[in-house]
A and B are shown apart, each in its own frame.
Chain A
Amino acid sequence: MASASSSAPARRGNPLAGKGWPVGFTVAAIVVFILFQWVLPNMSGPLPDFFDRWLPLSVVNQCIIWAIMAIGLNIVVGYAGLLDLGYVAFWAIGGYTAGWFMSGFFTQVSVNVFGHAAAGQPAGFHINFWLVLVIAAAHCALWGVLIGAPTLRLKSDYLALVTLGFGEIIPEIFKNGDDLDFPWAHHFNLSNGTRGITPVDAIPTGPFQYLSSDSLPIPAELGPFDETIKFVVYSLIVAFVIFVSLRIREGRLGRAWLAIREDELAASMMGVPLMRTKLAAYAVGAAIGGLGGVCYTTAVGGVAAEDFAFSSSIILLAMVVLGGMGNVWGVLVGALVLQWINGNGLKEIGNTITSVTGHDINFPSYNFLVFGAILILMMLFRREGLLPESRTRQVLQEPERGQLESVGADLEGERV
């Protein structure tokens, strides 16, 4: 996909950024799919049991959904260098968009656009999953601009604090949004309060259901046990998000983001409109967060305000930093690893230690202790993250040429 003229360091620093990645990603996804669809169910012995305990597919799906959102946050934090501590707001907006448009929640209306209404729920909006993805992305991008317009005038710490505020406000609105008074509607129930909106419609498989066979049953809609097909759906969305991230990065807008991250004042003096460029980063990041929100809602079968806590924003940020800020692949790895630890790994490590030593330690309750320890260790020994962007690796590992020269290093003579 990289054109011949793409800059050499990008290729040199990151082998995956070249032509190979869509192939590599597809192969990896197919391997996982085959493993869980055909290999493990037909195997006896310890291996299926091992996967069931250490890496069940439901956890894999959670991991890749978090990866979608981490990649979105990476655009804001990694590309444009804007510290956002309230990214969970966009996840929430995306999640509720799915809740509104894919459930029988709004009993006042009855709209069905290629949707799959659950039995006994003819009322409400039932819009096709793929359309809802588009709606949620657009909706979140709109809110990204609305929230960004006043906040992005601030810099660094102040921006972080205000985004933190929005990250708290939006979930609170949903938490208390079951009895709103609008001029045109009294006692309007927007979000069903703490009960949340549940159930939401399943993901319909559309024409693919006719490909169903004995070895690969594809139901008309994906229920809670069709994890392998859901894995395919979510993987496609991850691939799309990676594709968009990489492409934007290589173009005019991506360069402007980098320039702002490097030196805001110099960028503006070179004709880069700061507000508009930052808003674009916010909007794209928010749109991707919206996709993640829709996926999350369909994966857990509903949306509830408690899911959107401040800690989620921090975990997402940790995924970005730990994986390697600015590098999509690093962020992907960071998200998979951290969400695995969070979802299943820690519990199983605890169980193993308990069974070996006989001490009963509730590991998942030390979740944040472990997270904190990992973050501290990473910042001490590998500040640039697991798979850093080649540019960042430069800064953190090599001294600047000017510094070397100032201590008398004899570098190649001046080019003329």
Chain B
Amino acid sequence: MTVTTEQQPLSLAASAITIKFGGLTAVGDVSFTIPERGIVSLIGPNGAGKTTFFNVLTGLYRPTSGRVLLGTRDVTGMSVHKIASLGLARTFQNIRLFNLMTAEENVLVAMHSHMKSGIFRTVLRTPGQRREEREGREFARELLDFVGIGKTADEYARNLSYGDQRRLEVARALALKPKVLLLDEPTAGMNPLESARFVDFVHRVRDEKGLSILLIEHDMSVVMRVSERVTVLDRGEKIAEGLPDDIKANERVVEAYLGKTGTTGYGEDA
């Protein structure tokens, strides 16, 4: 159970996060870290609080108590866009692209915080502004090539195929030059072959961009193959954390997913 990451530098550390909605504790006292260049997964049955926890990390919810450190910086309570520009990028479970913008423009939007040109420089189109735009577009093209959809740069996001839209979401997130990339159910809607390719893709992103990755994922084969560490949430609490193989064998985890041994849920014990 003990994971030997404590000495490693962390790219994200959430300590004792609790969030309550009214009287309901959605997440209770969960601590969680992502080592630098690590790939970790967060799993749990529906309603376990995964998405809520995710939303605390990205700043959408303010935790009732607890703190979130991005690198060494305390980002608890910061606004969503500020946290994003400090290096926490995400994709969405239900794809949320800017549909009426081209693939390239989608990526450029995420570079907003790294660009500087204001109204006057844009209207005057100063040399600096033009250089910034040119470099921005080049970087956007690079990212699109990196995720394998370079040819679609000028197409509207809404016209891309489902798989390409997922890739575009990753390219857009990478444009933030993040320290940590959060992937929210990235293989939803993929067939087994695509999911298998996705595992390689995640490794490539980590290796070439040198960032840490946190996945929320339902597909256990993906989770077990891609993760270096798995954290399991159930009913808002962390019930297990460890190497994928340990998690597979963990009784509480199996219980959380399948119910207690000896009960089938069909009332035979009654």
- On whether the beta carbons of B109 and A415 are closer than 8 Å, the reply is no
Using A391-B100, A414-B161 as known contacts, say yes or no to A7 and B105 having CB atoms under 8 A apart: yes
- On whether the beta carbons of B98 and A252 are closer than 8 Å, the reply is no
Using A9-B102, A255-B101, A255-B112 as known contacts, say yes or no to A244 and B164 having CB atoms under 8 A apart: no
> Which secondary structure dominates chain B's binding surface?
helix
- On whether the beta carbons of A252 and B122 are closer than 8 Å, the reply is yes
- On whether the beta carbons of A414 and B163 are closer than 8 Å, the reply is yes
The answer, yes or no, to whether A270 is at the interface (CB within 8 Å) is: yes
The answer, yes or no, to whether A156 is at the interface (CB within 8 Å) is: no
Contact pick for A248, options B119, B159, B172, CB 8 Å: B119
- On whether the beta carbons of B104 and A270 are closer than 8 Å, the reply is no
The answer, yes or no, to whether B170 is at the interface (CB within 8 Å) is: no
- On whether the beta carbons of B100 and A392 are closer than 8 Å, the reply is yes
Contact pick for B159, options A3, A247, A266, A401, CB 8 Å: A401
Most buried by A among B79, B112, B164: B112
Using A262-B98, A270-B84, A402-B162 as known contacts, say yes or no to A248 and B109 having CB atoms under 8 A apart: no
- On whether the beta carbons of B109 and A256 are closer than 8 Å, the reply is yes
Contact pick for B176, options A265, A271, A394, A405, CB 8 Å: A271
Measured between alpha carbons, how far is A244 from B120 in the docked complex, in Å? 9
Most buried by A among B129, B132, B154, B158: B158
Shortest C-beta distance, B158 to chain A (Å), equals 5
Measured between alpha carbons, how far is A262 from B96 in the docked complex, in Å? 9
Using A251-B117, A391-B156 as known contacts, say yes or no to A270 and B137 having CB atoms under 8 A apart: no
The answer, yes or no, to whether A258 is at the interface (CB within 8 Å) is: yes
Contact with B along A383-409 (1 / 0, CB 8 A): 000000001101100001110010000
Within 8 A of B (CB), among A352-399: 391-392, 394-395
Measured between alpha carbons, how far is A266 from B110 in the docked complex, in Å? 10
- On whether the beta carbons of A7 and B102 are closer than 8 Å, the reply is yes
The answer, yes or no, to whether B51 is at the interface (CB within 8 Å) is: no
Measured between alpha carbons, how far is A265 from B130 in the docked complex, in Å? 28
Measured between alpha carbons, how far is A265 from B122 in the docked complex, in Å? 25
Shortest C-beta distance, A324 to chain B (Å), equals 14
Contact pick for B129, options A5, A251, A400, CB 8 Å: A251
Contact with B along A119-142 (1 / 0, CB 8 A): 000000000000000000000000
- On whether the beta carbons of B98 and A394 are closer than 8 Å, the reply is no
Contact with B along A1-38 (1 / 0, CB 8 A): 00101011100000000000000000000000000000
Contact with A along B156-188 (1 / 0, CB 8 A): 101111111000000011011000000000000
Which chain B positions have C-beta within 8 A of A395? 99-100, 158
- On whether the beta carbons of A252 and B112 are closer than 8 Å, the reply is yes
The answer, yes or no, to whether B81 is at the interface (CB within 8 Å) is: yes
- Number of B residues near A (Cβ < 8 Å) is 55
Most buried by A among B81, B96, B163: B81
The answer, yes or no, to whether B134 is at the interface (CB within 8 Å) is: yes
Most buried by B among A9, A250, A269: A269
Shortest C-beta distance, B100 to chain A (Å), equals 4
Contact pick for B119, options A263, A268, A280, CB 8 Å: A280
- On whether the beta carbons of A401 and B158 are closer than 8 Å, the reply is yes
Which chain B positions have C-beta within 8 A of A147? none
- On whether the beta carbons of A9 and B154 are closer than 8 Å, the reply is yes
The answer, yes or no, to whether A253 is at the interface (CB within 8 Å) is: yes
Most buried by B among A8, A270, A405: A270
Which chain B positions have C-beta within 8 A of A266? 92, 96-98
Shortest C-beta distance, A302 to chain B (Å), equals 32
Measured between alpha carbons, how far is A394 from B58 in the docked complex, in Å? 33
Using A270-B110, A401-B160, A414-B163 as known contacts, say yes or no to A255 and B105 having CB atoms under 8 A apart: yes
Contact with A along B244-268 (1 / 0, CB 8 A): 0000000000000000000000000
| A7: nearest chain-B partner, CB-CB | B102
Which chain B positions have C-beta within 8 A of A414? 161, 163-164
Which chain B positions have C-beta within 8 A of A232? none
Shortest C-beta distance, A298 to chain B (Å), equals 24
- On whether the beta carbons of A253 and B105 are closer than 8 Å, the reply is no
Measured between alpha carbons, how far is A189 from B219 in the docked complex, in Å? 72
Contact pick for B96, options A263, A273, A391, CB 8 Å: A263
- On whether the beta carbons of B164 and A415 are closer than 8 Å, the reply is yes
- On whether the beta carbons of A247 and B154 are closer than 8 Å, the reply is no
The answer, yes or no, to whether B113 is at the interface (CB within 8 Å) is: yes
Shortest C-beta distance, B51 to chain A (Å), equals 13
Measured between alpha carbons, how far is A252 from B123 in the docked complex, in Å? 11
| A254: nearest chain-B partner, CB-CB | B122
Shortest C-beta distance, B138 to chain A (Å), equals 9
Within 8 A of B (CB), among A238-293: 243-244, 247-248, 250-256, 258-259, 262-263, 265-274, 280, 284
Contact with A along B136-164 (1 / 0, CB 8 A): 01000000000011011010101111111
- On whether the beta carbons of A415 and B161 are closer than 8 Å, the reply is yes
Extra 6 A-B pairs, beta carbons < 8 Å, given A7-B102, A9-B102:
A3-B130, A262-B98, A270-B176, A280-B119, A405-B161, A415-B151
4 A-B pairs with least C-beta separation? A251-B122, A271-B113, A262-B98, A391-B100
Provide 8 A-B residue pairs closer than 8 Å at the C-beta atoms, listed in order of the A residue: A5-B133, A8-B102, A250-B122, A251-B129, A284-B119, A395-B99, A400-B159, A414-B163
